[in-house]
Each structure stands twice: as structure tokens, then as C-alpha cells.
């Protein structure tokens, strides 16, 4: 089935999921299609852990833990506590209820289901009307380059708590991974009304998606306007290590530098770059560099904030 004029959103985990929740609230059921990063998935304790997919699932189904900022509401930690007593690896905290998702996914994979189908099934079971599209059925794995060597993403992100300085990234498997065919079908056949690049980490959440074979040119060539929301606000990342990474990579920690990264890496892709009100003075400079810019309230605390930003992004798209 190809829905008419959907909105496509490209998202990583927590930050992107906030805007996706706003979009799913202001759109009709099923209009939102979220293309989600899988490059920070990892095999752990014999399970396939997909942090960004699960954050989307938990957020869009209202199961997420809002206080903690990740994981499930009402989570318990008996398994991790018992695993710690056995001397097992507990640096990546898997809650008891979250474990069920990973056990279910492993079982689905062992039955021959691919990540795309089983994610659709999880979303349906959780009552999510939006489509959640893993960027690829094939594994892509981010490696974070540091002066002391490469680290798998979750080792960098969780085990080492983003301490090592970052010198670059590579995405193992990217060359041979095919973009989710459902996404390519939507781009060609469904006449999307907007493509939204969520305020996720440009380097480890959005780049792995856009650099899948043929993907970003297909997004560029699709008639739908492409709107990107800056994850950097007033020189800080709202969530995660984006700001720290930019500093270590020798970039200014500004929304302008994010715009430049997207403009240089994906020329002609972005039709409108949305920056926060607190960065309004940067707008003329970004525009000068050839990228149309809009100013909005991009910091999302409440659900109302999320809906307001979503509505503004859609309004901007409809004007292009």
C-alpha cells in the first residue's frame, strides 16, 4: 500500500523522536513515515539491540520514560542486578521490560524475519499508526575514530560515556547495505509532501542514513521539500555528544556549522534549514552560504512544544 503524500522524517534516537512525536500528533494516522538510523545498533549479550528504533517505538507508543530520557516508563532492573552479581556485562543497562523487546526480536530473526518486517510488527503490536522504517535491512555499524583507536558506537557512547576525543567516523557495511526498499518506493510513488531531517546528531544519526547507496540523491531529486532542524542551539547540543564531537572535529559549535556540514556533504539536498530563535542572528550568514533558513522555537520540552515545532516545519514545507 502506498499512502498519499506522506511526511518522511529522518531520525536518530531521543532528540529526533521528540519531533516525530510532534509530527505524529499533528498528522493523520499513518501519514508519518519515520526513517530511523540503525548504525548504532549492536549485538550485546547475544541480543540485537536497536536503540534508535526502540526509542521511536517507545516514544510513539507513549511507553517511554520521560524523566530518564531513554528506555521504558516503569522499568525495573532485576536482570541487570542479577547479571552484575554473576560478573556479567552491565555497562549497557537493559531493563527487564526492554529485554522482552530484544528477546522477541532475536526470536523473530531466528524465525527468518528481517529487521524491516519485525519492526513493522512491533509497531503494530504497540498500536503505532506511523510507519517506522529502519534505514536498511542490512547491518551498518558506526565506528568512532579516536586517538586511541576505533570504538564501536555503543562502546564510545555508553561504555566510555563519550569521553574519548573523536577524530572521525566510519560506517561498516554501508557500501553493501541497501536503503529500505519501502522508503525508495515512497519517494518514487507516494508524492511525499515533506521530508524532515530531525534535530538528531548529524554525524552518527543522520549521516549514516543519508550515505546509504543512492539515498540522498533520491531525497534531493524527490519533489518534496527537505526541511532540516538544527540539533545545535546556542552552541549546545540539546541531547547527546554532537557539540562535543564538533569541537573535537575542529568545527565551530554552531547551527551554522551544522548547515555547512549538510550543504557541503549533500549539495542541493536541503531546501530550508530551521534554527532556534536564540540563534536568529545566524540566519543571514547561513542564507549567504546559499541555504534558505527559518527561525523557530526548536527546543522541545512539552508535548505542545513538539506539536508546535512539527506544525511549523510542515507550514514551512507547504510554502516551498
Helix residue ranges per DSSP H, the chain: 14-26, 51-60, 78-85, 96-110, 115-125, 153-154, 181-189, 207-210, 215-221, 242-248, 255-265, 283-288, 303-318
Examine residue 158 and tell whether it contacts a copy of itself (CB under 8 A). Answer: no
Q: What is the rounded distance in angstroms from the CA atom of residue 282 to the CA atom of residue 256?
A: 7
From candidates 5, 68, 125, 170, binder to a copy of itself by CB under 8 A? 125
Strand 42-44 relative to strand 141-146, pairing: unpaired
Figure out which of the listed residues 45, 137, 172, 299 binds a copy of itself, where binding follows CB under 8 A: 45
When asked if residue 111 is in the footprint of a copy of itself (CB under 8 A), the reply is no
Task: Tell me the C-alpha distance between 127 and 137, whole Å.
Answer: 22
Shortest Å distance, C-beta 85 to a copy of itself: 8
Long-range contacts of 143-146 (CB under 8 A, 24+ apart): 143/169, 143/170, 143/171, 143/172, 144/169, 144/204, 145/169, 145/170
Query: What is the C-alpha separation between 265 and 254, in angstroms, rounded?
Result: 17
User: Residue 274 pairs with which residues in a beta bridge?
Assistant: 229, 294
Q: Which residues of 198-211 are buried (b: 16+ CB within 10 A; e: fewer)?
A: bbbbbbbbbbbbbb
The yes or no reply on residue 87 touching a copy of itself (CB under 8 A) is: yes
Instruction: Please report whether residue 46 would count as binding a copy of itself according to CB under 8 A.
Output: yes
Contact with a copy of itself (CB under 8 A): which of 85, 148, 223, 301?
A: 85
Contact status: 99 vs a copy of itself (CB under 8 A):
yes
**In the complex, least distance from residue 88 CB atom to a copy of itself, rounded to whole angstroms:** 4
Tell me which stretch binds a copy of itself (CB under 8 A): 16-24, 26-34, 94-102, 270-278. 94-102
Residue 71 CA, chain-centre distance (Å), reads 15
Q: Which of the ranges 32-40, 86-94, 193-201, 301-309 carries the binding residues for a copy of itself, by CB under 8 A?
A: 86-94
Pairing of strands 47-49, 42-44: antiparallel
Q: Which stretch binds a copy of itself (CB under 8 A): 24-32, 40-48, 147-155, 311-319?
A: 40-48
Does residue 114 interact with a copy of itself by CB under 8 A?
A: no
* Residues contacting a copy of itself: total by CB under 8 A: 31
Of 5, 62, 69, 82, the residue at the interface with a copy of itself (CB under 8 A) is 82
Residue nearer to a copy of itself on the CB measure, 82 or 297 = 82
* Positions in 165-224 near a copy of itself (CB under 8 A): none
Residue 101 in contact with a copy of itself, rule: CB under 8 A: yes
Among 86, 250, 264, 319, binds a copy of itself (CB under 8 A): 86
The site for a copy of itself (CB under 8 A) is made up of: 45-47, 72, 75-76, 78-83, 85-89, 95-101, 103-104, 106-107, 110, 122, 125
Amino acid at each position: 500500500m502506498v499512502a498519499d503524500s506522506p511526511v518522511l522524517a529522518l531520525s536518530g534516537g531521543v532528540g529526533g523522536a521528540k519531533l516525530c512525536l510532534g509530527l505524529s500528533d499533528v498528522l493523520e494516522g499513518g501519514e508519518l513515515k519515520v526513517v530511523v538510523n540503525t548504525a548504532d545498533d549492536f549485538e550485546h549479550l547475544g541480543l540485537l539491540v536497536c536503540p534508535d528504533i526502540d526509542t521511536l517505538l517507545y516514544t510513539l507508543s507513549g511507553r517511554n520514560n520521560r524523566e530518564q530520557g531513554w528506555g521504558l516508563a516503569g522499568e525495573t532492573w532485576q536482570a541487570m542486578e542479577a547479571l552484575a552479581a554473576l560478573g556479567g556485562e552491565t555497562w549497557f543497562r537493559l531493563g527487564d521490560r526492554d529485554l522482552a523487546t530484544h528477546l522477541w526480536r532475536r526470536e523473530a530473526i531466528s524465525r527468518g524475519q528481517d529487521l524491516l518486517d519485525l519492526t513493522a510488527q512491533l509497531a503494530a503490536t504497540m498500536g503505532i499508526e506511523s510507519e517506522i522504517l529502519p534505514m536498511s535491512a542490512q547491518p551498518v555499524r558506526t565506528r568512532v575514530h579516536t586517538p586511541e583507536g576505533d570504538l564501536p558506537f555503543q562502546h564510545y557512547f555508553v561504555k566510555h560515556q563519550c569521553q574519548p576525543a573523536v577524530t572521525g567516523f566510519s560506517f561498516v557495511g554501508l557500501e553493501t547495505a541497501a536503503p529500505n526498499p519501502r522508503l525508495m518506493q515512497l519517494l518514487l510513488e507516494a508524492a511525499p509532501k515533506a521530508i524532515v531531517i530531525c534535530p538528531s546528531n548529524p554525524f552518527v544519526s543522520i549521516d549514516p542514513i543519508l550515505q546509504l547507496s543512492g539515498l540522498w540523491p533520491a531525497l534531493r531529486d524527490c519533489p518534496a521539500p527537505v526541511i532540516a532542524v538544527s540539533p545545535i542551539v546556542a552552541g549546545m547540543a540539546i541531547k547527546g555528544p554532537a557539540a562535543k564531537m564538533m569541537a573535537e572535529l575542529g568545527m565551530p559549535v554552531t547551527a551554522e556549522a551544522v548547515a555547512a556540514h549538510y550543504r557541503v556533504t549533500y549539495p542541493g539536498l536541503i531546501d530550508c534549514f530551521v534554527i532556534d530563535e536564540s540563534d536568529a542572528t545566524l540566519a543571514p550568514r547561513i542564507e549567504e552560504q546559499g541555504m534558505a533558513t527559518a527561525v523557530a522555537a526548536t527546543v522541545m520540552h512539552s508535548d505542545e512544544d513538539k506539536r508546535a515545532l512539527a506544525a511549523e516545519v510542515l507550514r514551512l514545507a507547504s510554502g516551498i
